[in-house]
Chains A and B, each alone.
Chain A
Amino acid sequence: MLLSQLNAAASPLSQEQVQKLQGLVAELNPIQQAWVSGYLAANANAGALTGGVAATPAAGEAPPLTILYGSQTGNAKGVASKLKEQAESRGLTVKLVNMADYKPTALKKEKFITVVVSTYGEGEPPEDAESLHEFLTTKKAPKLDGVKVAVIGLGDSSYEFFCQTAKDFEERFNKLGAETIFQRADLDVDYDDEAAKWIDGALDAFEPDLKAQQQASGGQVVAMPFGAAAPAASQYTKQNPFAAELSVVQKITGRDSTKDVRHVEISLEGSDITYTPGDSLGVYFLNDEALVDEVLTLTQIDASSTVKLGDEELTIRDALIEKLELTQSYPGFVEKYATATGSPDLLKLVEDKAAMREYIEPRQIFDIIRQNPAQLEAQTLVDCLRKLQARLYSIASSQAEVEEEVHLTVGLVEFDAFGSEHLGGCSGYLARRAEEGCKVKVFSEHNDNFRLPANDETPIIMVGPGTGIAPFRAFLQERDAREASGKNWLFFGNPHFTQDFLYQVEIQGYLKSGLLTKVDVAFSRDQAEKVYVQDKLRKNSQEVFAWLEAGAHFYICGDANRMAKDVHQALVDIIKENSGKDDEQAEQYLKDLRSANRYQKDVY
């Protein structure tokens, strides 16, 4: 329906609202309109979600399919959203809930549960899943006889405890009496196809029972295509990325730094790709041609041999450069390569998980080929490798400031191993091989879990050491452009003040202009005792607490394994110290902040 045809009779809006909407739309360009549409949809969705969590289903209401997700980087959440979308398109009632927001007491009311959860580190649950994961082992956990459950895990098979959290959830649900209705899937990093397959299968399994129950209770089901909630209007996606011009790759650490961090600017001109501060950019990269040629020599494969990748036919050389993973190693590759080459050494590893892990740790895929060369058919090699995955980077700019550009802060992964320099796949490409002016394939990935407060007057505290500074540069640009009056406090850290103070001059400018109210920095290696951002938080304990009490939003971006945990612990201590709360109450304080979207993380 065109807006000009819109009237009160044909819409749920009043005549006055219609006029207001028409007035607004007249002022907006197509990109802005698309953004508003996405914004409103997301807003409505968020409202529905919060409402849904709080309310227990009234008697007689049909039990929905509850999708519990526990996500660290957003992948599990993405799969959960797809599941919701698919279920709704089948006309099923669905409740999508972040485990962190889920009240465990609601479990006894559930009939149909799907769990989408990732695993990280040494088989640990993502932070959002921690309390539910633990709750299920306690005596408080209810009997779940008659409940149907299906679990899907996300992980990285290069880790020893691959998808351990998903396994735990399934086992714990089963122990409480719930029945697995569809076989668990453990997704590896290249998960799109498998996830889609599992969603279809699981929904097929749930659908008959769900429909029966939902019809019995006379529940009305309104199918709403999930796509309407997607905020972007651009046609470019992960599957169909945009070939964007790489305009700037500038090293922003000093010449004596131990780190090589690049400020990257990419032009989105002509793509209609829009993003919001807090979003990420997916970047596809090309593998190092020299490595590809070496791999071909080692496997005695002719570079022009044709191979099949899905439906696509191309030369092995092109496939290795553009389509296949050659850096991040994982056990699946070793297994397939061991079988393909018959290498006894590698085959032995397949039998021994611990040894496998130790073997993979220091090696990139090409190291394994280099150290175990064997003559192979081109297609055999291709079948050993998995699809190259786009790398996600937190966006470091706001379109309010940079318009049709997107900026990233990319830390180059570099290390020496086996007598040669090794680079990260994408960071190596951006920092060393890609030339300014060339095209890179990108797409934007939305992250509604990392957003500025809607209210411009709300104070924010940003903790972003290292490349974790990226989204906060976007936040600051956005708040600057919006002339937001809320106070902004930044915590930054890195090894050395003189070499590693990312965006120092910009930060100084924001301090001078007053946009940044406070900046605290922790340069860990500038003094005998190491100082980190969490130490700086503790040093400002009273004031941090005062800001939180005054309604501040608290953001963390950067390292998930250590920093985010240490910062969380510092927050717990700060809350205890200033309010007399005990550990549990302090944790609850933070949980409440999280529920109110006032405690957000973008950690990796």
Chain B
Amino acid sequence: MSEQDKNVKLSDNERLKRESNFLRGTIEQDLKDEITGGFTADNFQLIRFHGMYQQDDRDIRPERAKQKLEPLHNVMLRARMPGGIIKPEQWLAIDKFAEEKTSYGSIRLTTRQTFQFHGVLKPNIKGMHQMLNSVGIDSIATAGDVNRNVLCTTNPVESELHQEAYEWAAKISEHLLPKTKAYAEIWLDGEKSETTEEPILGSTYLPRKFKTTVTIPPNNEVDVHANDLNFVAIAENGKLVGFNVLVGGGLAMTHGDTATYPRKADDFGFIPLEHTLKIAEHVVSVQRDWGNRSNRKNAKTKYTLDRVGSDVFKAEVEKRAGVQFEQSRPYEFTHRGDRIGWVEGIDGKHHLTLFIQSGRILDYPNQPLKTGCRKIAEIHQGDFRMTANQNLIIAGVPADQKAVIEEIARNHGLIDDSHTEQRKNSMACVALPTCPLAMAEAERYLPSLIEKTEALLAKHGISDDNIIMRVVGCPNGCGRAMLAEAGLVGKGPGKYNVYLGGNREGTRIPKLYLENVGEDVYLEAFDKLIGQWASERNEGECFGDFVIRKGIVAEVKVSVTDFHA
């Protein structure tokens, strides 16, 4: 609070965290309330710390109001899966629950390398947590003002390096978890105990959500600049030696509020492996103590850095951790996409990356994706890995199982050679009908937007090229549109803000090009721009670089000054 007026009123979320008895609130009473399918008052927020959001089917909200029925309340659950690794037996349990106990029947892979259940009714919530617990999964702190699920580049090829990086992701996740036993008490009928402190997160937890990754260059699949804290793996001769630490990335903003902006992370420098947990702990502790707790729109690490200065923040971390950052080691990001199809790892195992549109695993007509995944899980000897691009890797397949797994995948639409590069490089968040924040469609709109974009590429004779395109229902950041070459951010039903100028590697923030426009307007603009790009681009020049070079949008170098300029 060093620079903040101590008299500034704290946000209401601070009160509810303080009064929550370490995240317990009165959730247990709400579970017994049979008159509503929702959670009341503070509990509505507190369940987020346990990995759930209260949602409802927004498509039928007006209809139900007329029927004198409350909204169709349900929860979305987001599991904690550091590095996105799932064992086949876990997959089978998840599949069964999704099929039997969720309204939508799907397993939704997310940009944070985990899965979500959508549409779980209140009477099924406890059973869900107990099912997860029985296969070694929880959902602690995957939402709320805490360190959330820790990402790790999936990199199946360099298996040894990945294994080390993955273990660090798991260790960081454990280290930064809330220590309260509220989760076990409420959901697993665990023994009641008294919590007296949260040594790392503090008794009122963090000012805002906090996101962490472990990244293996040159693949920036996890989008480091969307995260508060990144450990970029530095290897020597295939062995992990330490991390470059990148702090203060984040994409969320608020429409119409120029004090909010997407921002890239700053490179604090290199640390050897042994300091990893200490540095993680103290980046968190400095943000815990210095982050803005009166204005939630200004509370993330990125704003703390811009307010106190990156150097001051870094010096405080060094002081608390007793560790000096070394000179940053060189590394390079070259891409973010997943390589769809088979690769062979250096350990001789085979890995099949399946493209899953918008991460939604469901049995569609003629494409029974969920059944396909289940059949693979029934025979698979390795594991599954969820990528930050919402795709799924069948990892660690011995050579003699390749053919049978490929056959299942093909028979169930999990391998579809007709998917274009444009489709594989497009992404959407969940949005309507379940996300309460969505202002416009995203996941449900993406397929048609892709088709229209493909048509434009074809029209201009560049069908083999693609644009990293991301559609999100609100400016909150889940679909990482603020690191796309072309990002559509929902503004209202059928209306989007269009941002252009990100790059392939995910190291540049795009800039506003069209505001609050409908499809006819931005498709017309895309038509013109793609035409120009096709005829006037330099050799190998991607769309994002092209629009910057041509001055179609100005480059965002320093977000705080450039983004709204």
Query: Measuring CB to CB, which residues of chain A are less than 8 angstroms from any residue of chain B?
Result: 250-255, 263, 497-499, 501-508, 511, 519-521, 526-527
Q: How far is the CA of A511 from the CA of B63 in the complex (A)?
A: 23
- 8 residue pairs bridging A and B, Cβ less than 8 Å apart: A253-B67, A254-B64, A254-B67, A254-B69, A497-B37, A502-B68, A505-B69, A521-B34
Per DSSP, chain A at the interface is mixed
Q: How far is the CA of A121 from the CA of B65 in the complex (A)?
A: 38
Q: How far is the CA of A332 from the CA of B121 in the complex (A)?
A: 51
Q: How far is the CA of A254 from the CA of B67 in the complex (A)?
A: 7
B30-78 at interface with A (beta carbon < 8 Å): 34-37, 60, 63-70, 72
Known: A498-B121, A526-B123, A527-B123. A254 touches B72 (CB 8 A): yes
- B-chain residues with CB within 8 Å of residue A254 when the two chains form the complex: 60, 64, 67, 69, 72
19 further A-B pairs in the complex, CB-CB below 8 A; given A255-B63, A497-B123, A504-B70: A252-B67, A252-B68, A253-B67, A263-B68, A497-B34, A498-B72, A499-B69, A502-B68, A503-B68, A504-B35, A504-B69, A505-B68, A505-B69, A505-B70, A508-B35, A511-B35, A519-B35, A520-B34, A527-B123
A501–B66 CB distance below 8 A: no
- B-chain residues with CB within 8 Å of residue A252 when the two chains form the complex: 67-69
Residue among B60, B65, B67, B72 having the largest count of chain A Cβ atoms under 10 Å: B67
B346-365 at interface with A (beta carbon < 8 Å): none
Closest CB in chain B relative to A520 CB, distance in Å:
8
Known: A252-B67, A526-B123. A521 touches B72 (CB 8 A): no
Q: How far is the CA of A527 from the CA of B124 in the complex (A)?
A: 10
Known: A254-B64, A507-B35, A508-B36. A501 touches B123 (CB 8 A): no
A504–B68 CB distance below 8 A: yes
Q: Mark B154-167, 1 if CB is under 8 A from A, else 0.
A: 00000000000000
Residue among B63, B69, B121 having the largest count of chain A Cβ atoms under 10 Å: B69
Q: How far is the CA of A604 from the CA of B107 in the complex (A)?
A: 46
- B-chain residues with CB within 8 Å of residue A251 when the two chains form the complex: 67
A255–B70 CB distance below 8 A: no
- B-chain residues with CB within 8 Å of residue A504 when the two chains form the complex: 35, 68-70
- B-chain residues with CB within 8 Å of residue A498 when the two chains form the complex: 37, 69, 72, 121
- B-chain residues with CB within 8 Å of residue A526 when the two chains form the complex: 123
Query: Measuring CB to CB, which residues of chain B are less than 8 angstroms from any residue of chain A?
Result: 34-37, 60, 63-70, 72, 121, 123
- A-chain residues with CB within 8 Å of residue B72 when the two chains form the complex: 254, 498
Q: How far is the CA of A526 from the CA of B34 in the complex (A)?
A: 12
Closest CB in chain A relative to B184 CB, distance in Å:
24
- A-chain residues with CB within 8 Å of residue B37 when the two chains form the complex: 497-498
Q: Name B64's closest neighbour in chain A (CB-CB).
A: A254
Known: A497-B37, A508-B35. A255 touches B60 (CB 8 A): yes
Closest CB in chain A relative to B60 CB, distance in Å:
6
Q: Name A521's closest neighbour in chain B (CB-CB).
A: B34
Q: Name A496's closest neighbour in chain B (CB-CB).
A: B121
Residue among B35, B63, B72, B123 having the largest count of chain A Cβ atoms under 10 Å: B35
Closest CB in chain A relative to B33 CB, distance in Å:
10
Residue among B37, B64, B65 having the largest count of chain A Cβ atoms under 10 Å: B64
- A-chain residues with CB within 8 Å of residue B66 when the two chains form the complex: 250
Q: How far is the CA of A527 from the CA of B126 in the complex (A)?
A: 14
- A-chain residues with CB within 8 Å of residue B70 when the two chains form the complex: 504-505, 508
Q: How far is the CA of A214 from the CA of B66 in the complex (A)?
A: 62
Closest CB in chain B relative to A298 CB, distance in Å:
39
- B-chain residues with CB within 8 Å of residue A497 when the two chains form the complex: 34, 37, 121, 123
Q: Name B123's closest neighbour in chain A (CB-CB).
A: A526
Q: Name A251's closest neighbour in chain B (CB-CB).
A: B67
Q: Closest 4 A-B residue pairs measured CB to CB?
A: A252-B67, A505-B68, A504-B69, A521-B34
Q: How far is the CA of A504 from the CA of B66 in the complex (A)?
A: 11
- A-chain residues with CB within 8 Å of residue B63 when the two chains form the complex: 255
Q: How far is the CA of A250 from the CA of B37 in the complex (A)?
A: 22
- A-chain residues with CB within 8 Å of residue B35 when the two chains form the complex: 504, 507-508, 511, 519, 521
Q: How far is the CA of A206 from the CA of B435 in the complex (A)?
A: 77
Q: Name A500's closest neighbour in chain B (CB-CB).
A: B69
Q: How far is the CA of A252 from the CA of B507 in the complex (A)?
A: 53
Q: How far is the CA of A253 from the CA of B123 in the complex (A)?
A: 20
- A-chain residues with CB within 8 Å of residue B69 when the two chains form the complex: 252, 254, 498-499, 501, 504-505
Q: How far is the CA of A592 from the CA of B121 in the complex (A)?
A: 44
Closest CB in chain A relative to B122 CB, distance in Å:
9
Q: How far is the CA of A505 from the CA of B66 in the complex (A)?
A: 10
Q: How far is the CA of A208 from the CA of B37 in the complex (A)?
A: 68
Q: How far is the CA of A263 from the CA of B68 in the complex (A)?
A: 9
Q: How far is the CA of A75 from the CA of B60 in the complex (A)?
A: 42
Q: How far is the CA of A519 from the CA of B36 in the complex (A)?
A: 11
Closest CB in chain B relative to A286 CB, distance in Å:
26
Residue among B36, B63, B65 having the largest count of chain A Cβ atoms under 10 Å: B36
Closest CB in chain A relative to B447 CB, distance in Å:
25
- A-chain residues with CB within 8 Å of residue B34 when the two chains form the complex: 497, 520-521
B36–A250 CB distance below 8 A: no
B67–A250 CB distance below 8 A: yes
Q: How far is the CA of A230 from the CA of B67 in the complex (A)?
A: 36
Q: How far is the CA of A366 from the CA of B75 in the complex (A)?
A: 48
- B-chain residues with CB within 8 Å of residue A505 when the two chains form the complex: 65, 68-70
Q: How far is the CA of A498 from the CA of B60 in the complex (A)?
A: 12
Residue among A253, A497, A526, A527 having the largest count of chain B Cβ atoms under 10 Å: A497
- B-chain residues with CB within 8 Å of residue A501 when the two chains form the complex: 69
- B-chain residues with CB within 8 Å of residue A527 when the two chains form the complex: 123
- B-chain residues with CB within 8 Å of residue A519 when the two chains form the complex: 35
Closest CB in chain B relative to A211 CB, distance in Å:
58
Closest CB in chain A relative to B302 CB, distance in Å:
40
